[in-house]
């Protein structure tokens, strides 16, 4: 089950179909054959809750749970093992996402799909801390997004996520 709460009306003002966009991208990520192979084909993929909110709410969540006093585009909160098979929660900040889409010259709908897929992959255990992990995760993102008709978000360096330096 995919549950979507729209807390910031700016999402719907900019994208009246925001909920449908998130649902379609999340379902694509969960049903991707690449994800199924990576997580084990027999594994049940449970529910996810998405929060489409504002920058201040994401800043507060980022500070509370990650110790960072800043808004970011997407935060993922994997759930511990539970009998309901709830995978976790994903929060997306409207202002950050809209600004990034504009700066990168891409439609907000494409950026929202990308960040939804990105968040789902985090809930499934993927990360981008090291270069190898980032390449694997970005490859999955590209494959899922291509199936949705979304251009490669990493082409020409667009949409890159910070990668901590490893030494």
DSSP letter for each residue of 8-25: -THHHHH-TTHHHHHHHH
pLDDT-based confidence at residue 46 (cuts at 50, 70, 90) = confident
Residue 160 has pLDDT above 50, yes or no: no
Domains in the chain and their CATH numbers?
Answer: 2-151 (3.40.390.30)
DSSP string computed for 88-153: EEEEEEHHHHHHHHHHTT--HHHHHHHHHHHHHHHHTT---SSHHHHHHHHHHHHHHHHHTT---T
Residue 158 has pLDDT above 80, yes or no: no
| DSSP E strand boundaries for 29-85 | 47-53, 74-78
Which helix (H) or strand (E) is 4 found in, with range? strand 2-6
Across 17-26, 126-135, 152-161, the highest mean pLDDT is recorded for 17-26
pTM of the predicted structure, to 2 decimals: 0.88
Which helix (H) or strand (E) is 6 found in, with range? strand 2-6
Angle between helices 131-147 and 18-31 (to 10 degrees): 120
Residue 134 has pLDDT above 90, yes or no: no
Q: What confidence tens digit (pLDDT) does each residue in 86-102 have?
A: 999 999 999 999 999 99
């Amino acid at each position: 089950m995919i549950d979507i709460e729209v807390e910031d009306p700016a999402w719907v003002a900019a994208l009246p179909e925001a909920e449908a966009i998130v649902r379609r991208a999340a379902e694509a990520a969960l049903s991707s054959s690449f994800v199924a192979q990576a997580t084990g084909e027999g594994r049940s993929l449970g529910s996810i809750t998405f929060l489409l909110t504002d920058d201040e709410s994401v800043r507060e969540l980022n500070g509370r749970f990650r110790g960072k006093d800043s808004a970011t585009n997407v935060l993922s909160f994997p759930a511990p093992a539970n009998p309901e098979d709830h995978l976790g929660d994903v929060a997306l900040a409207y202002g950050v996402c809209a600004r990034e889409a504009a700066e990168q010259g891409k439609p907000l709908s494409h950026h929202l799909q990308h960040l939804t897929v990105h968040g789902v992959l985090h809930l499934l255990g993927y990360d981008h801390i090291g270069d190898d992990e980032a390449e694997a995760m970005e490859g999955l993102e590209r494959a899922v997004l291509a199936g949705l008709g979304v251009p490669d978000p990493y082409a020409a360096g667009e949409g890159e996520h910070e990668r901590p330096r490893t030494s």
